[in-house]
Amino acid sequence: MRTAEFDRETVLRNAMQAFMTYGYNKTSMPKLTEVTGLHPGSIYCAFKNKKGLLLAAIDQYQADRRVHYQKLFENSTSLRCALERFLQDLVGECLGDESKKVCLLTKTLNEIGEQDADIQTALSTNLSQFESLIRQQFLIAWPDSEALSEDEATKRARFFIMSVYGIRTYAATQCDSSHLNALADRLLEVSV
């Protein structure tokens, strides 16, 4: 017997960052050995192949995101407050460094979603989990806000999520702080 020398979560976060920066196809195995510190053989032993490493990184990404948003939503006093925090965080990420500008899920979906069923399934699953997370915020009976019907909450959450994708893409086209804030403000207005 022998225990693995590397820390799985660290390896996955490094791989994840590389995938977000360069995209799946342009993240070569040499690059992955470099950023993870693992030799090819170890990667193939632990994750089967490059695609397996991507799938594991996607799961890690989603787990990290869930924690991040649960913290972000803690102690919100109203739907408006929760969405405001979310949007501020989003705009901050869009203006931040390369590796946080993009969402691993949508970036990967855009790049290779149509070409691989396993990856498409993994991404769809994780993206609808993300949609649920937002939908829950719309469904909470806030002390300071009126309650929404299930149907209305679903529709509004969907529009919100769709616009979040839009803001991320818009930020890729032109990274202007005032434009992004204006878009976020407007989205908040039409959502709440």
Partner DNA sequence: GTTTAACTTGAATAATGATTCAAGAATCCC
Partner DNA sequence: GGGATTCTTGAATCATTATTCAAGTTAAAC
Q: Which of 45, 67, 162, 172 binds DNA (CB under 7 A)?
A: 45
DSSP string covering 83-139, please? HHHHHHHHHHHHHS-HHHHS-HHHHHHHHHGGG-HHHHHHHHHHHHHHHHHHHHHHH
CA nearest 159: which of 144, 148, 146? 148
Size of the site for DNA (CB under 7 A): 22
CA 95 from centroid of its chain's CA atoms: 15
Q: Which of 8, 10, 29, 121 binds DNA (CB under 7 A)?
A: 29
Our finding on whether 38 is near DNA (CB under 7 A) is yes
Looking at the Cβ atoms of 38 and 164, the one nearer to a second copy is 164
Looking at the Cβ atoms of 19 and 76, the one nearer to a second copy is 19
Q: Are 127 and 120 in contact (CB under 8 A)?
A: no
Our finding on whether 49 is near DNA (CB under 7 A) is yes
> Which of DNA, a second copy, none sits in contact with 143, Cβ below 5 to 8 A by type?
none
Q: Which of 78, 158, 181, 192 binds a second copy (CB under 8 A)?
A: 158
Separation between Cα atoms, residue 52 and residue 36, nearest integer Å: 14
The site string for a second copy over 96-135 (x = CB under 8 A, - otherwise) reads --x---x---xx-xxxxxxx-------xx--xx-------
Query: 169-181: string of b/e by CB count within 10 Å (b at 16+)?
Result: ebbeeeeeeeebe
Separation between Cα atoms, residue 90 and residue 92, nearest integer Å: 5
Tell whether the torsion through CA atoms of 168, 171, 173 and 178 is positive or negative. positive
Looking at the Cβ atoms of 1 and 141, the one nearer to DNA is 1
Kindly list the residues in this chain that would bind DNA in the complex (CB under 7 A).
1-6, 27-31, 38-42, 44-46, 49-51
Kindly list the residues in this chain that would bind a second copy in the complex (CB under 8 A).
21-23, 25-26, 98, 102, 106-107, 109-115, 123-124, 127-128, 155, 158-159, 161-170, 172-174, 179, 182-183, 186-187, 190
